[in-house]
Amino acid sequence: MTADTYHHGNLRNALLDAVDGIIGEEGIAAVSLREAARRAGVSHSAPAHHFGDKTGLMTAYAARGFDLFGEMMRGAADGAAPGGPQARLRAIGITYLRFSVEHRALFEAMFRPEFSDPDDPVLRESSRRAFGVLLEAVERLDPADLGGAEPLHAAMASWATVHGLATLWHDGLIAQFTDEDLSSIATGVFDLDRGRTAPQE
Amino acid sequence: MTADTYHHGNLRNALLDAVDGIIGEEGIAAVSLREAARRAGVSHSAPAHHFGDKTGLMTAYAARGFDLFGEMMRGAADGAAPGGPQARLRAIGITYLRFSVEHRALFEAMFRPEFSDPDDPVLRESSRRAFGVLLEAVERLDPADLGGAEPLHAAMASWATVHGLATLWHDGLIAQFTDEDLSSIATGVFDLDRGRTAPQE
DNA sequence: TGTACATCAGTGAACGCGCGTTCACTGATGTAC
DNA sequence: TGTACATCAGTGAACGCGCGTTCACTGATGTAC
């Protein structure tokens, strides 16, 4: 992989990295094929070879995000498995928020569907797998912890809570009402939830 | 307010309505000063008179959204007041979701801060007032219902849950896992919450 | 009732810009023989 | 080891487009006297 050959060698990944940089530095609205090419040090028409068009580039970027997202949550879940289903779910929630902070550009693109093709099968499968980790974790809970509620609704509640927390935080809305940082708020919210579902502990 | 005078008479509002149409039909990325002017039947440079620049237009549009949002939640809260704090909070939650469906274009713009000026004092005050309605409602709950949790965290949890539900729904992510419609899911999630906080009822 | 004038709202031509996409091309690579 | 050739990755010129913004302007309105 010499530096200055005619063939880049890893242009596809380099372009996805470039998108990451653009979003991080200038926001998602600033992403363009030409700017991505510029950052990858390649002619402006090169990206079309790998992604077809702009939507293709953003779709691939979002799919990459969901893959990493899923991996991180699965890793966290497995690591917390010995603590039981509650610890497992909590670890996933924390990872959900951590991902949104550490990979903010990815997180943004994953949930700004106007730039990517929502019907792309690769993207759909990636997102499905990622969220599946969270949803499965709720299903593993002791039914008694659900208080008779349907598992699907319990899963949606957990998902929505953690997702809402992440997006409200990143949009700067939560900071209008408190000085607490995200992890402190998350702890409070998660404990609240545990206090409700398992007060006997 | 005759139709074909030189002066429009209500151009400011007409332009905001135009933005609403653009987002509803073509998505938020399609908004431009020129397209808004076109839809309002006015020369392309007219919008600058009222909003200065594109950010000004989007900021005014988002602020208008938060005003309506706040009014709707306050109206719903007051209407449900006789039912007590729990009913009040629930009515707000339902209204939050209803707003996101009935005024989807506004909802989108309000939470896509890359287009508007987050430091605009009018916008900040509008959003603060709107969310204040929800946050206040949580503070009115009987402390016993909070199970010893901090009111701030309980408020954040409610806010995040309902906001996450709205955004995940509109991004089409929830539909990947269930055929249920939004109001049915919302009912399930809210009942879950009530079942946890007030199982004695 | 009439006139002068200030103010405001909207016009239209012009500018420069960055963009997405197309297309004939060229340089590098790998494989068959 | 050498050569011919197919394939693939990336180039660079060109196109047309819609955009935001500026600016001198003009038409309408309201007010003072």
Predicted confidence (pLDDT) per residue in A163-189, tens digit? 999 999 999 999 999 999 999 999 999
Interatomic separation, CA of residue B176 and C1' of nucleotide D9, rounded (Å): 37
Task: State which residue has its Cα closest to the C1' atom of C29.
Answer: A7
Interatomic separation, CA of residue B185 and C1' of nucleotide C8, rounded (Å): 52
User: Residue B3: which pLDDT band, with cuts at 50, 70 and 90?
Assistant: very low
pLDDT tens-place string over residues B136-177: 999 999 988 887 889 999 999 999 999 999 999 999 999 999
Statement: residue A16 has pLDDT above 90: yes
**Residues A120/A59, Cβ–Cβ less than 8 Å:** yes
User: In whole angstroms, what is the distance from residue B153 CA to residue B158 CA?
Assistant: 9
User: Residue A3: which pLDDT band, with cuts at 50, 70 and 90?
Assistant: very low
Interatomic separation, CA of residue A158 and C1' of nucleotide D15, rounded (Å): 51
Q: Does A119 touch chain B (CB under 8 A)?
A: no
What is the model's pLDDT at position A6? 67
User: Residue B17: which pLDDT band, with cuts at 50, 70 and 90?
Assistant: very high
Statement: residue B39 has pLDDT above 50: yes
Q: How far is CA B38 from CA A41, B26, B32, B54, in A?
A: 39, 14, 10, 15
pLDDT tens-place string over residues A73-92: 999 999 999 999 999 999 99
pLDDT tens-place string over residues A88-144: 999 999 999 999 999 999 999 999 988 999 999 999 999 999 999 999 999 999 988
* Residues from chain B contacting residue A127 (CB–CB below 8 Å): 173, 176
CA distance B16 to chain A (A): 21
What is the model's pLDDT at position A108? 96
CA–centroid distance for B201 within its chain: 31
Length of chain B: 201
What is the model's pLDDT at position A200? 37
What is the model's pLDDT at position B117? 94
What is the model's pLDDT at position B149? 87
Q: How far is CA B94 from CA A60, A91, B88, B145, in A?
A: 36, 30, 10, 20
Taking alpha carbons only, the member of B196, B66, B86, B69 closest to residue B141 is: B86
Task: State which residue has its Cα closest to the C1' atom of C18.
Answer: A34
Which nucleotides on chain D have any atom < 7 A from a protein Cβ? 9-14, 18-23, 27-29
What is the model's pLDDT at position B64? 97
Shortest CA–C1' contact from A41: which nucleotide? D10
Statement: residue B97 has pLDDT above 90: yes
- Judged by CB atoms closer than 8 Å, whether chains meet at B161 and A159 is answered as no
Q: Which residues contact B133 (CB under 8 A, 6 or more apart)?
A: B70, B73, B74, B77, B92
DSSP tally for chain A: helices H, then strands E: 9, 0
Which nucleotides on chain C have any atom < 7 A from a protein Cβ? 9-14, 18-23, 27-29
